[in-house]
Every structure is written in C-alpha cells, then in structure tokens.
C-alpha cells in the first residue's frame, strides 16, 4: 500500500504493508533510530512522536492511518529552539535520563510546557508515570521540567 505523509517537514512516500506500525516505519524504512520501541502496547512512552503537533505513541499507529498527516520525530525536533529549552535545562542541572527513555520524555516535556502555565508537580508525575523508566532521580526530573519551562518562558515563546 502506498502512503504519502510528511516526516520532519519533508514529504515522503512509502509502499509497505498497511498494518505496519509507524514506529517500525520510521526506524526501518527511514532509518530514524533515535525513537525507541519497547512495548508495542502504547504504555511505556519510548516511541513518542508528534502527529499533527500532538504527542502520540508511534507503536499504536498503523501506517495506513497517517496518510497526508504531519509526523515529527525527535530527529526533526532536535533542530528547534524548543528542543534547546529542554536539553539545556537538563544539562544545567546534570540530570541524565537514559537515552532509551529520554527521547520520548523530551517530546512529552515539550507538550507539557507548551500548555502556557507552570507545570505543577502532579503534571510532571503523570508524565513520569506515562514514561515508565526508573533510570533517573524523580526530584531532578521535576527540577529539569520546571527549568525547561522557564527557559521557554524566558525566550518569549509563551508570549507569542
């Protein structure tokens, strides 16, 4: 089945089985390996990508459903200032989540701090609960998210 969609800002086309999951398409067919796949059940958060600007678990999306849609993976997000807001914050406080879970968490943090209000602790805990990896300190992670929010706020992103 031929499917056209936008991947990280570029129009792409793929001829594959319609039930192939988006996570496998972006990793195997487009070689974008930074997004990970762990559970195939949409629960662990490691395969998070943006679909039409909203975060979704790529393992729960068969490729036939993304026809004419916009997909952004962590590779596409890395070039943005929004990404720097987050990565600089975690860098500053020396919070080092494992690379396996961090890519999903970065996109989830972006979605959280885009909500135009300071994320409260319960929001951040819910995010951690949705991304079940116990690799890092919870308090450091909370601090990292708050700092990422302030970075974005400082950049004036929220005022636009």
In the region spanning residues 79 to 108, those forming contacts with another protein, defined by CB under 8 A, are: 87, 90-91, 94-103, 106, 108
For another protein, the closer of residues 45 and 76 by Cβ is 45
Strand intervals (E) in the chain: 2-7, 10-15, 48-51, 54-57, 70-72
For another protein, the closer of residues 12 and 38 by Cβ is 38
Applying CB under 8 A, the span of 6-14, 23-31, 148-156 interacting with another protein comes to 23-31
Binding map of another protein across residues 113-132, x = CB under 8 A, - = no contact:
--------xx--xxxxxx-x
In the chain the first and final C-alpha atoms are separated, in Å, by: 41
Q: Which contacts of 54-57 are long-range, i.e. CB under 8 A and separated by 24 or more positions?
A: 54/111, 55/107, 55/108, 55/110, 55/111
How far apart, in whole angstroms, are the C-alpha atoms of residue 154 and residue 101?
Answer: 27
Return the closest-CA partner of residue 149 out of 103, 118, 106, 108.
118
For another protein, the binding residues in 45-74 under the rule CB under 8 A are 45-46, 48, 51, 54-57, 59-62, 64-65, 67, 74
Residue 49 phi, psi (nearest 5):
-135, 170
If binding is defined by CB under 8 A, does position 137 make contact with another protein? yes
> Residue 26 CB, nearest distance to another protein (Å)?
13
> Residue 135 CB, nearest distance to another protein (Å)?
5
């Amino acid at each position: 089945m031929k499917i056209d969609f936008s991947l990280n800002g570029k129009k792409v086309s793929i001829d594959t089985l319609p039930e192939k999951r988006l996570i496998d398409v972006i990793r195997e067919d487009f070689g974008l390996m930074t997004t990970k796949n762990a559970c195939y059940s949409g629960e662990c958060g490691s395969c998070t990508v943006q679909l039409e600007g909203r975060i979704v678990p790529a393992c729960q999306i068969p490729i036939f459903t993304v026809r004419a849609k916009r997909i952004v993976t962590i590779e596409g997000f890395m070039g943005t200032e929004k990404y720097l807001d987050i990565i600089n914050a975690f860098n500053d406080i020396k919070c080092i989540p494992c690379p396996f879970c961090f890519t999903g968490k970065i996109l989830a943090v972006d979605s959280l701090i885009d909500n135009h209000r300071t994320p409260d602790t319960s929001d951040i805990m819910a995010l951690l609960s949705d991304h079940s990896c116990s690799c890092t300190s919870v308090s450091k992670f909370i601090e990292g998210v708050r700092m990422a929010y302030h970075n974005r706020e400082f950049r004036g992103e929220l005022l636009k």
